[in-house]
Every structure is written in structure tokens, then in C-alpha cells.
Amino acid sequence: MAENQDFRYSPIGVFDSGVGGLTVAREIMRQIPKERIIYFGDTARVPYGSKSQETIIRFSRQIIRFLQSKGVKAIVIACNTASALALETVQPEFDIPILGVVKAGAKEAAKVTKNGKIGVIATESTIESQLYTKEIHSHKPNAQVLGKPCPLFVPLVEEGWLKDPVTVEVANRYLEPLLESGIDTLIMGCTHYPLLRSTLRQIMGEKVNLVNPAYETARELKALLERDGLNNDGKQSYEGAMHEFYVSDAANKFKNFANSILPYGVDTTQLIHIEDY
Amino acid sequence: MAENQDFRYSPIGVFDSGVGGLTVAREIMRQIPKERIIYFGDTARVPYGSKSQETIIRFSRQIIRFLQSKGVKAIVIACNTASALALETVQPEFDIPILGVVKAGAKEAAKVTKNGKIGVIATESTIESQLYTKEIHSHKPNAQVLGKPCPLFVPLVEEGWLKDPVTVEVANRYLEPLLESGIDTLIMGCTHYPLLRSTLRQIMGEKVNLVNPAYETARELKALLERDGLNNDGKQSYEGAMHEFYVSDAANKFKNFANSILPYGVDTTQLIHIEDY
């Protein structure tokens, strides 16, 4: 597609309510390493998981306008809550492809389940939206989907208590109803949760599939770029850094967290006023 | 003061990052029941406790402009983080009295301590600001002040696990260094923490003074209004509700929480776009 030649060297926009979406950026860097990323973390307004749909849509529109001003060729909503509450509304409003993590995660879960019983752990807003259930049913109408909000997981991860006895006790409490119902597949429906993978594995046992939507989303993005002739072949040089990171609050936390999980040094995180977009 | 006659029937503005400041509003309602309150909870951008000073100052300015548009005669910053990070900067920018919870809490702690060892539990941003230490030293220069951020307390309170074994274990972990250092006074330096009072009491023992800045702030507000002839004598009638509640996100959580802790039914919480102020 000749018309896309100008855009194939453009970056991918990735956004999240804060640092969690870096786990999605990491998967994109691993799976399609020639793509450049413009990352935005809404650290001034984090978290999204307890907020209303109207607010999440307003925030998402501002961020997409910001990312468009940076000339991105496609956008990944790395935040499960924004994917669940805003994607459907904002997708038709913009003229570039916008992907969310929920669809990819739901599709994979529907594929790998054998007994048709799927658990979803996520923020309160994501669970209330019922979007995981709706998306799973679009692939597997008879699946039984059990959602469970886990509001303490994000603060526990941010406290760094990944394998702490307190975290194990909280996880036991949250996961008990899912264990009892006999699910064979569990979607880690919030970007922070894969960082609790070993605790989740310990509680759920070896036989339950743990689905990480970040991994599936990066695969879907790769396929979309190839299909549309938008994939970067790495042959054009560029000025400045390979990836750019923007935040709405200058907390050092972002840089520290980013440098701890990314295979890429984040030295120059730039602060912007997202409310102006 | 004749010039203040027009203002004495004006409401008090009270704001917080979210629901927590309602514990301060509650104290004001108890101690000066004739005063009307305009409450604003920044539920779209909650929490403030992990965000930078620049961001907290920007948010606080927007909120003060909003409260001024409602004709308030004085403002109480019910949020410890905003009191610690923004009060000093915004106070001289506006022409009405602005009070914060930190000064009142620090003053009381300096008064009641006997051994001069004072603990402060609060959000990360409040502790990092060192404002409690500075304020305590202005009253008691030789006091030894030990700060401890407790980032999991707010999500535990919002989960409703007030006396849960998990909360007791987390509190034990956070409070251990304060217990060991032999403090005789503990400031509950975040509006949510007084809701954990019985757990804190259990761990700290009967001999440690627990200081609630909300109580001290309401006392200070009462004295200030009387001094300036701004106190409402309740003789002027008004239209509409006695108190008004505004939020930046329409989550039902606010109304539920408000109705659970206030001696006043909150039926009509109004949503505003705080970013426009």
C-alpha cells in the first residue's frame, strides 16, 4: 500500500493511567523491536480503576489528541479500564487504528479454555463494565465468565510487596470464589497483575491458564501493522531517542518503575499538561 | 466589623482529593453547626498522596477558584497532602482565609507530647514534604519527629477492611519502627486514617496520644471566624440545601461513603469539570 509508505516509520502511541502500561510497551518492544513507541502515562490522574465511564472517556480523548499531535500511526490503549470503558466510544472518532488490551485478552482466553469457565481479575470499573464477558461471549457464547475486582493489588504492587505474606493472604481472599468455581483460565485484566504472576500461580495451581492480555495485544498489533503495510522495517534513520516517554505528573516513581521493568533506559521522561489537549 | 456583615452568611469551602475530607467536614458540622459548607472532592484525580508538588499546587488553585465562584468566605484544605504541598504557595494568592489541616495537627501534637517524641503517619508526599516536622518544630524546637508513609491504608479503608486481620498485619508492619522509638504521640496525618483509629489504638497501646487533625482544624476555623466577625449566627434564611457537595467524577462511591460517615444526608452531589477553573 503505497499510501502508507509515509506512515510506516511513524511511531506507535501507547497509553495508560500510569506506569502499569509499561508491561504492554515491554511486550511491543520484545515482539516488534523495530517499532518506535511514544508512551504516555497519566500519572497526575492515576488510577482509573475506580472512576466513571464519562471521566475515563474524557481523559482518553485528551490523550489520543496528544498522541496524534506526535504523529503516531496507531494507538494501543494499554490500560484495561480505559480499554473497557472508552475504546468503543473513541475508536470511530479518530482516523487511525486504536487497539485495546481487553479484546486480545478475551480472545485468547476463549481459545485456551477447555471447560469454558473463565475468571477475570481486574479493577472495579473494568469488572462493572462487563466488557470481558461480552468479548469472551463473542468468541464462545456458552462460556461462563466470573469477574472479581481486586482493588488492593495495584497498591500492593506499587508498595513492592510482590511475594509478601500480606499479598498472598489478600490474593487468597480475592481468588477463593474463582478457585471454588473451578475455572481453568484466569485473565490478568489489569496491567499491574502480571507482576503478581508467581503469587497467582501459587494460589491457582499449575493447571490453570494465566492469560496476559499485554502479550496478546502486542501480537495483534504486529498482525495489524503487517496487514495494513504499516510495519516499520527499521531502514529509515531518525533523530533523538528510539522511544519517548511522557507523563502528566513528574513523580520520580515513573522513571524508577520504568527502568526496573523495561529493557530500555528511560532517562528523559517529559512532563506535559494533558488537560490542555 | 461592619464590612464583614455581608460575608458572615456565606458558606465555608472545604476540599479534599476525594471522600476522606468528609471527616473534616463532619467535625466542622459538629463544632460549628450553623456554618454552611460547600464541599468539593476531586474524585476524578484522587489520590494526591503519590503525586508531585507542582501538580498538587495546580489542582489546588483550580479548586480554590471554583470554591470562590461559589462565594465562600473561607476555605479549609481538608487534604493533608494538599495542606502540606500547596497551602503555603496558594495562601497569598487569594484574598480569603485559607486553612490547612497540617498546622492544626502539628500544634496539638506539640502541645500534648510529654517526652517530645512524635510520630506522623501520612501519604508519601506528605511525609516527603517534611511540613509536619517543620510545623512541630515551630512550636517545640527540640521535638523528635518520626514520619512513616502508609500507602496501603487508604485502599484498605476504601475496601472497607477497617478491622480486618490483613489491615492489622499491614498496620503492625508500618507502625513497628514508631513503636520501637518510644513515641508518646501519633498524628493521623491523612483524612482516611481516623477511620482506622481502633486498629491504631490496639497496636500503639492506651498510653499514646492519637491526634486527629480534623478535630483541631475545626476548632481553629471556629476561632478564626469569631475573631474576624465572620461566624454565621444562623439568623439569615437561605434557599436550597444547607450544605452542597461537588465532585469531579460521578462515582456513586462518593455518595455512599458520604452517607455512611456524615450526620447529614447527601442526595444531590453535583458533577463539575474542575479542569475548566
ipTM attached to this prediction: 0.89
Is the predicted pLDDT of residue B203 greater than 80, yes or no? Answer: yes
All three cell numbers of A219, joined, read 501480537
C-alpha span between B269 and B39 (Å, rounded): 10
Residue A67: predicted pLDDT: 98
Q: Give catalytic residue positions of B.
A: 79, 190
C-alpha span between B186 and B119 (Å, rounded): 5
Would you tell me which residues 22-61 of chain A have a C-beta closer than 8 angstroms to some C-beta of chain B? 43-45, 50-52, 54-55
DSSP reduced 3-state for A25: helix
Average pLDDT, chain A: 94
Is the predicted pLDDT of residue B253 greater than 80, yes or no? Answer: no
Average pLDDT over residues B99-124: 97
Residue B79: predicted pLDDT: 97
- Annotated binding-site members of B for substrate: 16-17, 48-49, 80-81, 191-192
Residue A238: predicted pLDDT: 86
Give me the residue from B154, B173, B275 closest to A275, CB to CB.
Answer: B275
Is the predicted pLDDT of residue B1 greater than 50, yes or no? Answer: no
Q: Give the strand order in the sheet containing B185-188.
A: B144-149, B117-122, B185-188, B209-211
Average pLDDT over residues A93-110: 97
- Asked if A243 and A72 touch (Cβ cutoff 8 Å), the reply is no
Is the predicted pLDDT of residue B37 greater than 50, yes or no? Answer: yes
C-alpha span between A120 and A101 (Å, rounded): 13
Average pLDDT over residues A144-169: 95
Give me the residue from A44, A170, A250 closest to B45, CB to CB.
Answer: A44
Contact A251 B50 (CB under 8 A): yes
Q: Catalogue all structural domains in chain A, each as residue range(s) with its CATH number.
A: 2-100+215-276 (3.40.50.1860), 102-213 (3.40.50.1860)
Is the predicted pLDDT of residue A174 greater than 50, yes or no? Answer: yes
DSSP reduced 3-state for A28: helix
Q: Which residue of B has its CA nearest to A274?
A: B275
Is the predicted pLDDT of residue B211 greater than 50, yes or no? Answer: yes
Average pLDDT over residues B154-169: 94
The annotation status of A198 as a binding-site residue, yes or no, is: no
B253 inside 8 A of chain A by CB: yes
Of the candidates A72, A190, A204, A225, the residue annotated as catalytic is: A190
A152 inside 8 A of chain B by CB: yes
Residue A266: predicted pLDDT: 79
Per-residue pLDDT band for B238 (boundaries 50, 70, 90) equals confident
Of the candidates A25, A57, A79, A187, the residue annotated as catalytic is: A79
Distance set, CA B49 to CA A271, B59, B152, B183 (Å): 18, 13, 11, 24
All three cell numbers of B37, joined, read 459548607
Would you tell me which residues 157-176 of chain A have a C-beta closer than 8 angstroms to some C-beta of chain B? 158-159, 165-166, 169-170, 173
Q: Which residue of B has its CA nearest to A155?
A: B152
Contact B55 A156 (CB under 8 A): no
- In this prediction, what percent of chain A has a pLDDT beyond 90? 87
Residue B47: predicted pLDDT: 93
Per-residue pLDDT band for B257 (boundaries 50, 70, 90) equals confident
Average pLDDT over residues A74-93: 97
Q: What are phi and psi of B86, to 5 degrees?
A: -120, -25
First-to-last alpha carbon distance for chain A, in angstroms, is 31
Average pLDDT over residues B221-232: 96
Average pLDDT over residues A234-253: 87
Best of A17, A19, A42, A51 to disrupt the B interface (most B CBs within 10 Å) is A51
- Which residue, among B246, B249, B271, has the nearest Cα to A59 in the 3D structure? B249
**Mean pLDDT lowest among B61-65, B163-167, B196-200, B266-270:** B266-270
Best of A19, A45, A125, A157 to disrupt the B interface (most B CBs within 10 Å) is A45
A150 catalytic residue (yes or no): no
- What burial class does residue B61 get, using C-beta atoms within 10 Å of its C-beta: 0-12 exposed, 13-18 middle, 19+ buried? middle
Phi-psi map region of A182: left, alpha, beta (phi>0 left; psi -120 to 50 alpha): left
Residue A2: predicted pLDDT: 44
Structure-model confidence comparison of residues B26 and A266, the more confident one:
B26
Pairing of strands A244-247, A269-271: parallel
* Beta-bridge mates of residue A40: A15, A246
Average pLDDT over residues B54-82: 97
Is the predicted pLDDT of residue A1 greater than 70, yes or no? Answer: no
Residues of B in contact with A154 (CB under 8 A): 155
CB-CB neighbours of A239 under 10 Å: 4
Q: Which residue of B has its CA nearest to A55?
A: B249
Structure-model confidence comparison of residues A175 and B252, the more confident one:
A175
Q: Which residue of B has its CA nearest to A159?
A: B151
Contact B44 A54 (CB under 8 A): no
DSSP reduced 3-state for B266: coil
Residue B5: predicted pLDDT: 57
Residue A262: predicted pLDDT: 85
- Which residue, among B247, B255, B270, has the nearest Cα to B46 in the 3D structure? B247
**Mean pLDDT lowest among A238-242, A263-267, B199-203, B232-236:** A263-267
Beta strands in chain B (DSSP E): 12-16, 37-41, 74-77, 98-100, 117-122, 144-149, 185-188, 209-211, 244-247, 269-271
Is the predicted pLDDT of residue B252 greater than 80, yes or no? Answer: no
Average pLDDT over residues A84-101: 97
Per-residue pLDDT band for B4 (boundaries 50, 70, 90) equals low
Q: Please list, in sequence order, all residues whose beta carbon lies within 8 angstroms of the beta carbon of residue B276, skipping any fewer than 6 positions away.
A: none
Best of A81, A249, A271, A273 to disrupt the B interface (most B CBs within 10 Å) is A249
Which H or E run contains A34? none
Contact B152 A151 (CB under 8 A): no
DSSP for B27-41, please give it: HHHHHSTT--EEEEE
- Which residue, among B187, B189, B226, has the nearest Cα to B97 in the 3D structure? B226
Average pLDDT over residues B63-79: 97
